[in-house]
């Protein structure tokens, strides 16, 4: 795992500094949350390993492309993991987990559900307003267009209203705060 984390960290630190959301910090949080959810869901140690590898590699595609970054991440994962001696079966499994993070989420397996919940756990966190602001700033950088507060507020409200957590953990521990975040937006508290 050490070589994977070092490789991912190196690529993530090469991202433009304007990637203030999809960066090392986000990847670390996704991996930590996936470990927590995986433990709660009682997955095997081999599944946990595959899950964590996918977490560390899932957003590396941003180093090369904002659009369809999941597929770029998969190609990076295939190339790197092949060099690291991973079996084709494990590489396919990791690729499937990375692909599952593409929005909108449609996970099939428990591991896919876990990585999806870990990737969007910020929706059910108390620091949602701060994370939302970082994502807004990043989107403005990537698109080169200013996003008016009212538009971002509405998009955030819609995301929270339509999002569902897939795991028992997410439904028990993340959904209640997601609901609170939704209430904040409904009362007009801006994500700025």
Domain coverage including residue 68: 2-186
What's this model's pTM, rounded to 2 decimal places?
0.95
CB neighbourhood size of 135 (10 A): 20
Please check the confidence at residue 191 and state whether its pLDDT lies above 60. no
192, part of any domain: no
Residues near 94 by beta carbon (within 8 Å), at least 6 away in sequence: 50, 53, 54, 57, 77, 81, 86
Query: 120 by DSSP, 3-state: which?
Result: coil
Burial (CB < 10 A; 0-12, 13-18, 19+), residue 37, is buried
Q: What is the pLDDT of residues 39-83, one digit of tens each?
A: 999 999 999 999 999 999 999 999 887 788 999 999 999 999 999
> What does the pLDDT read at residue 190?
53
> What does the pLDDT read at residue 189?
59
User: Any idea what the CATH number is for the domain that residue 50 is in?
Assistant: 1.10.3210.10
* Count of domains for the chain: 1
């Amino acid at each position: 795992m050490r070589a994977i984390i070092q490789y991912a960290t190196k690529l993530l630190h090469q991202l433009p500094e304007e990637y203030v959301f999809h960066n090392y910090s986000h990847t670390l949080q996704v991996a930590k949350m996936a470990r927590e959810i995986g433990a709660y869901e009682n997955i095997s140690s081999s599944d946990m390993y595959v899950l964590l590898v996918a977490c560390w590699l899932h957003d590396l595609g941003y180093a090369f492309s904002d659009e369809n970054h999941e597929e770029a991440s998969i190609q990076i994962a295939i190339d790197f993991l092949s060099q690291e001696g991973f079996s084709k079966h494990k590489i396919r499994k990791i690729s499937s987990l990375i692909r599952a993070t593409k929005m909108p989420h449609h996970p099939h397996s428990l591991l896919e559900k876990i990585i999806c919940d870990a990737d969007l756990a910020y929706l059910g966190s108390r620091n949602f307003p701060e994370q939302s602001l970082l994502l807004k700033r990043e989107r403005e950088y990537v698109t080169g267009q200013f996003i008016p507060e009212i538009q971002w507020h509405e998009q955030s409200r819609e995301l929270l209203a339509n999002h569902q957590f897939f795991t028992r953990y997410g439904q028990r521990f993340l959904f209640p705060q997601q609901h609170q975040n939704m209430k904040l937006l409904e009362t007009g508290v801006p994500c700025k």
